[in-house]
Copies of this chain bind each other. A is one copy, B any other.
Amino acid sequence: MTDFAATKAKFILPEGVVYLDGNSLGPLPKGALERARRVIEDEWGEMLIRAWNLAGWMDQPRRVGDKIAPLIGAERGTVVMGDTLSIKMYQALAAALTMRPQRKVVLSDAGNFPTDLYMAEGLIQSLARGHVLKTVAPEAVEAAIDESVAAIMLTHVDYGSGRMHDMPRLTDAAQAAGALAIWDLAHSAGALPVDLAGCKVDFAAGCTYKYLNGGPGAPAFIYVRPDYLEKARPALSGWLGHVAPFDFDLDYRPARGIERMRVGTPPVLQMSVLEASLEIWEQVDMTAVRDRSIELSELFIREVEARCPALVLASPRDPGRRGSQVSFRFGHGYAAMRALIARGVIGDFRAPDRMRFGFTPLYIDEGDVRRAADILAGVVEERAWDRPEYKKREAVT
């Protein structure tokens, strides 16, 4: 049994705030600041360059990867940290295309987070070998898989609607057609159970500043299926992915195993804060997180639909088909979200009209959900969005 009151006590949340945006940036775990102090004062300050050995900085990307592995159903030694999700998706796709040289289609869907599509566009344009990025409706992916497809590249849980793809089924379908399956776990890792090994996923990547609470700019991770670890070509072949970086060879030879997906110097400070944040997961069962997240989101949907009929559910109604976030369409959504935030309930807005709310049981309980629904009902009832300062668009929504 996971004790969610105990996990909640491990976060610092501002007084009076209900935080329903952990799907964008997880809140601050209590241990994070002390870990940052330790890295800055005791390691950087005192050990200086020697900390690469003494404080274990060099092994950190693999060590932290091994801590994330059980959260996504991955084997030890198949996950490594570094860079950003965009970069890791690029590496995964570049490796996949090398493994299917005769096939020219990268299949994705219109619900994918745009950066994955943009990175794929950039790669395809660089390759200039007639590849095509084919983007279909999410529900049309399976039917679009054929023998022209080199790889499917999908985000498991849609950033906007929370709609969840059937990972085992689509992975099977892709592989049955001879394609590879690449999954973006941005809204999955730490939100719900994922079984990369069980699904025989080929490549996956994810970020750690959302549900894994690693802090702003925390590094990404990449997963490579075990039998590809010695085969996958790291297109971004940096020196820390070399088999012997400190030999300073002039020619690149990939490291054995997942280390080859490392590129340059790891973000030690960010990764250390992440490492501290990951300690919370040691006492957490992902199935319990999933069950509780569904309870909370179902409660929120019931409350909002009963009290705010102008808001239209934009997420799948079946909780088994969505991740841990819920969106509502509302014409005044942008300003209404600003008004809601001003009253202490923090969600976010996604164009064109979606108000988005994340339900992360590590620090959200039933009382928070009821309170959020109450305040939202008040905003709608009072037309609190109807003020000029709420309508002015900010740089980041």
Contacts and interface: CB of A to CB of B under 8 A. Distances in A.
A53 to B, nearest CB: 5
A56 to B, nearest CB: 9
Interface string A117-132: 1110111011111000
Interface in A91-114: 94, 110, 113-114
Interface string A4-48: 000000001010010101001101100011001101110111101
A397 B19 contact: no
Interface string A205-219: 001010000011111
Name A's interface SS.
Answer: mixed
A264 interface: yes
Contacts of A249: 114
A92 to B, nearest CB: 14
Contacts of A269: 36, 215-217, 269-270, 273
Interface in A258-278: 263-271, 273
A63 to B, nearest CB: 13
Interface in A280-335: none
A275 to B, nearest CB: 13
Contacts of A395: 52-53, 58-59, 246
A95 to B, nearest CB: 10
A135 B249 CA distance: 13
A239 B118 contact: yes
A122 B235 contact: yes
Interface string A348-370: 10110000000000000000000
A87 interface: yes
B126 A250 contact: no
A84 to B, nearest CB: 3
Contacts of A240: 115
A324 to B, nearest CB: 16
A276 to B, nearest CB: 11
A264 B118 contact: no
Residue among A41, A119, A233, A236 having the largest count of chain B Cβ atoms under 10 Å? A236
A32 to B, nearest CB: 6
Nearest to A84: B264
A97 to B, nearest CB: 9
A17 B48 contact: yes
A346 interface: yes
A389 interface: no
A229 interface: no
A251 B350 CA distance: 17
Contacts of A87: 83, 87, 236, 238, 263-264
Nearest to A57: B216
A37 B33 CA distance: 7
Nearest to A234: B122
10 contacts: A33-B37, A53-B395, A84-B264, A87-B263, A114-B245, A118-B238, A118-B252, A127-B127, A217-B266, A246-B396
Given A25-B49, A44-B216, 11 more contacts: A24-B49, A33-B41, A36-B40, A83-B83, A86-B264, A114-B239, A119-B238, A125-B235, A127-B127, A218-B267, A248-B350
